[in-house]
Chain A
Amino acid sequence: MYVGFHDRVMPHDHSDHDHPHSLLPSDPALRVKALETILTQKGLIDPAALDEIIDTYENKIGPKNGAHVVARAWSDPDFKAALLVDADPVLAELGYYGRQGEHMVVVENTETVHNMVVCTLCSCYPWPLLGIPPGWYKSDAYRSRAVREPRKVLAEFGVTLPEGQAVRVWDSTAEVRYLVLPQRPEGTEGIDEAALMALVTRDSMIGCGLVVSP
């Protein structure tokens, strides 16, 4: 019977032993298994739907989508201009809309500005364009340090910025999701969109990598 806590406004703080999750097995794999079993038996989840969700994020939605957008922006000035002003309709037209990507902003790296994206409070990330965030993006080290010492963090990715380039770190504190449009590498004039797309890395679209010439 659903009782709900619609009327409850206080945070649900419990003492350690009182948290319901402590009733589950401590081994995480067993904990997940136990939850799946209970929820399936109760008719609240369908294992086939779980398989479908996993297939979506393992095989269908990932950084290739973002790379497509970047390569198109490098190849088509009108597309790029529209993308930077109001990304949502442009991305929707390409089919890149959905959960955790409902409100997109694309930020462009230039000679004077390098953009980088973090979520210090949790792990907000543009799923329809980049898929599931990598482990490091969700790590305490990245969440705590990206805002305070982005250049040291970039060095851990092998990236050193010139002195004349300011860093803008975007902390995703709302439902707006950010994609970095990396600088197009030199020596790629005359390369077509598909070949450009192959150069674009996931990390470059988070702002933790640069796209390099082939």
Chain B
Amino acid sequence: MTRVHDMGGRFGDGTVVPEPEDVVFHADWHPRALAITLACGSLGLWNIDVSRHARECLSPKDYTRFSYYEKWMAALADLLVDTGAVSREELAEGAAREPSDLAGKRLAADAVAEVLAKGGPATRPSNVAALFAAGDTVRIRSLPENLQTPGGHTRLPAYAAGAEGTIVRQHGTHVLPDSNAHRMGEAPEPLYAVGVKARDIWAHPEHPEDEVILDLWQSYLSAK
């Protein structure tokens, strides 16, 4: 069983509403929410997998009723408290009680361009040998769950669990989110683009030749 964010294939969400291409933000507080989240990320208190998992750990009720940047703000508040950067009292009072020990790590305005340009690559050297090559047939794990941590983070969507797939592309060796989200190490291993036929995952595929391609780690796969 996965969490509320794992919605690929779900029914009932209605139509997609296209929007003009020159709209970047829909409310004044949206860019502020984005910027606060990025600025806090650079304090180094968590990695991208920890922050994704914090959003996924919102209760299904909150996840569903919150708009996109509300999810970001809620998860950020939760992470700040979890890491001790901000106290519950400070959140409740809307004011700081004392300056932070981490102020020296604050992202400076003149460092923004460099930090955004530098990014955070996820490729790492790994001693896990690649077991598959392009064209190989594989079986995707049937349990779309984190195997180490109950209710933990994984990037295996439920809709693809148990399906047969074909290796489309090798991406090298990448940090494993299932481990990194729980601060259990980066555990890099081979990552692949895996193609799955729509007819193998949906009862009513739109077209016999359509397919979905997912990026999946080697430990999500077994030889067919």
Spell out A's residues near B (CB within 8 Å).
Answer: 1-14, 16, 19-21, 23-25, 28-29, 31-39, 41-46, 48-54, 56-58, 62-63, 97-103, 105, 118, 120-123, 131-132, 134-136, 138-145, 147-153, 156-157, 163, 166-176, 201-203, 208
> Which of A28, A42, A171 is close to B67, meaning CB atoms less than 8 Å apart?
A28
State the Cβ distance, A127 to closest chain B Cβ, in Å: 9
* CB closest residue in chain B, given A50: B35
- Write out, one digit per residue, whether chain B residues 179-221 have a CB within 8 A of any chain A CB (1) or not (0): 0001110000001010100100010001101111111110000
A13 touches B57 (CB 8 A): yes
A140 touches B76 (CB 8 A): no
B120 touches A99 (CB 8 A): yes
- Write out, one digit per residue, whether chain B residues 159-195 have a CB within 8 A of any chain A CB (1) or not (0): 1000000000101001101000011100000010101
Given contacts A49-B107, A63-B21, contact A38 B36 (CB under 8 A): no
Provide the bound-state CA to CA distance between A172 and B155, in Å. Answer: 10
State the Cβ distance, A67 to closest chain B Cβ, in Å: 10
Spell out B's residues near A (CB within 8 Å).
Answer: 5-11, 13-19, 21, 23-29, 31-36, 38-40, 43, 45, 48, 52-55, 57-59, 61-62, 64, 67-70, 73-78, 80-86, 88, 90-92, 94-96, 98-103, 106-109, 111-113, 115-123, 148-153, 155-157, 159, 169, 171, 174-175, 177, 182-184, 191, 193, 195, 198, 202, 206-207, 209-217
A156 touches B94 (CB 8 A): no
Given contacts A11-B149, A19-B74, contact A39 B113 (CB under 8 A): no
B31 touches A46 (CB 8 A): no
Q: Which residues of B contact A171 (CB under 8 A)?
A: 8, 157, 212-215
Provide the bound-state CA to CA distance between A107 and B191, in Å. Answer: 18
Given contacts A166-B209, A174-B174, contact A42 B155 (CB under 8 A): no
A172 touches B215 (CB 8 A): yes
Q: List 9 A-B contacts (CB under 8 A).
A: A11-B153, A23-B92, A42-B86, A54-B32, A102-B120, A105-B169, A121-B5, A143-B7, A176-B215
Q: Which residues of B contact A44 (CB under 8 A)?
A: 40, 43, 85-86, 100, 102-103, 106
Provide the bound-state CA to CA distance between A153 and B21, in Å. Answer: 18
Q: Which residues of B contact A58 (CB under 8 A)?
A: 24-25, 31
A32 touches B7 (CB 8 A): no
Given contacts A5-B183, A6-B183, A21-B73, contact A38 B207 (CB under 8 A): no
A10 touches B149 (CB 8 A): yes
A134 touches B23 (CB 8 A): yes
B107 touches A46 (CB 8 A): yes
Provide the bound-state CA to CA distance between A148 and B19, in Å. Answer: 22
Provide the bound-state CA to CA distance between A6 and B47, in Å. Answer: 11
> Which of B9, B32, B103, B169 is close to A144, meaning CB atoms less than 8 Å apart?
B9
Q: Which residues of B contact A56 (CB under 8 A)?
A: 112-113, 116
Given contacts A38-B96, A54-B34, contact A144 B10 (CB under 8 A): yes
Q: Which residues of A contact B94 (CB under 8 A)?
A: 24-25, 34, 37-38
A21 touches B74 (CB 8 A): yes
A39 touches B86 (CB 8 A): yes
B206 touches A122 (CB 8 A): no
Q: Which residues of A contact B48 (CB under 8 A)?
A: 175
A53 touches B78 (CB 8 A): no
Q: A9-B184, A63-B21 are in contact. List 14 more A-B contacts (CB 8 A).
A: A2-B85, A8-B183, A10-B151, A11-B150, A20-B82, A46-B107, A49-B35, A49-B107, A56-B113, A121-B52, A147-B9, A156-B15, A168-B210, A175-B121
